[in-house]
Structure 1
């Protein structure tokens, strides 16, 4: 029966989604408490944003390096690029944001780095603190849900995914993670309904099934099988 439902889900799909390969959330980092940049500095940062969204991370970083790092907005953008490039410079930059106007983003980035290393316990502590500081940030809530699911804290993960989905209803990544959880729990009818509602693609559904199976067969809750943090 489960196989029949799964096949039916695949046949009903036809939408286009990113599958989690979204661009970095550059435009969501401004805080009214942060120091304002000059007009020229703002222009340079916007240029760096455009390059990053086009996937030109090295060029974006080069533009950011012309700006003073004392600005938290600049520091966060550089940290995100370094993290995407797998560079060690990301961690101290995120650490430098703690206690500033972008403290939640600092904890978020440190949580992402810890999750990438497979340290879900440390990642959860950072992301829980980030979620407490910025409870309406859907990306933080999603990433916290990912870490909880990697720890097999299924009820906690479901809560975070549902919160993130209601905050960011058009985010297919959140829907994909929740579908993974539902398949993991053999809740195939609910998974099928969410797949249809979110317009997930057949490839995304296959990915969710693969992730759910990996969670079922993992030997340690520390394994990072849902690695959907972006």
Structure 2
């Protein structure tokens, strides 16, 4: 009888282990349920205000919505990060293990980089890239951290990946030129400027970034979604 019970228990455990990640996320509160029409309208309004440079107004609209929606917590985390508020980190952490886990790791990596902890940022962004390998923003940000850590070949790989995934985002291209200048590969940098159709102002930004890296040992915060540089998304 004991053997039968033990075998049944093992089958039950095996069944749990075989559950899909979304099922586990649902059990632990990580639900990506679809917002209703009114909630989606508020989300769209918040996105519009944030894109227009009105993050406080965007946050006000988000505060009308339930935090049980992962989409709401993600947007709140992004706005609070841009505003430098500490509440962003627990919101990003609440996304881990759910359907927006990649976005949670990405945000935690951006926060770590902002406080100068590139080693922790690398861990978070590598996890984000494994979860969302085709997200060009994640790959660009991972390249920035690799560049800050002096891992130039890894940084180049990430920037090239980001460019090939979405060639209308100029930020990875600027960062790739920065890396070439940092390595004193001026001919390569000039060739990239021509091939990637960068503007003179973008080349000047790449030069300024390379100079700051040489002077301080660490590049400027060049992660997507931060308000510190003109070429950021």
Counterpart Cα distance in 1 of 2:216 and 2:54: 36
- Is 1:190 the counterpart of 2:188? The answer is yes
The Cα of 1:211 is off from its aligned counterpart by: 1.8
Tell me the equivalent position of 1:159: 157
Map 1:9-88 onto structure 2 (within 5 A).
Answer: 34-88=32-86
* TM-score, with structure 2 as normaliser: 0.80
* From 213, 219, 222, the counterpart of 1:228: 222
Tell me the equivalent position of 1:180: 178
Alpha-carbon RMSD across the aligned residues, in angstroms, is: 1.3
Deviations 1:103-153 (Å, cap 9, x if unpaired)? 000000000000000100000000000000000000000000000000010
The Cα of 1:157 is off from its aligned counterpart by: 0.3
Counterpart Cα distance in 2 of 1:209 and 1:54: 28
Counterpart Cα distance in 2 of 1:111 and 1:158: 19
The Cα of 1:44 is off from its aligned counterpart by: 1.0
Counterpart Cα distance in 2 of 1:39 and 1:215: 47
Structure 1 unaligned segments of length 5 or more: list them.
Answer: 1-32
Structure 2 unaligned segments of length 5 or more: list them.
Answer: 1-30, 225-233
Moved over 4 A (4+): none
Residue 97 of structure 1 aligns to a residue whose secondary structure is coil
* TM-score, with structure 1 as normaliser: 0.81
The Cα of 1:200 is off from its aligned counterpart by: 2.2
Counterpart Cα distance in 1 of 2:44 and 2:215: 45
The Cα of 1:226 is off from its aligned counterpart by: 3.5
Tell me the equivalent position of 1:29: none
Q: Is the 8 A contact 1:67 1:74 kept in 2?
A: yes
Counterpart Cα distance in 1 of 2:163 and 2:103: 19
Deviations 1:54-86 (Å, cap 9, x if unpaired)? 111111100000000110001000000001111
Choose 1 or 2 for highest CA Rg. Answer: 2
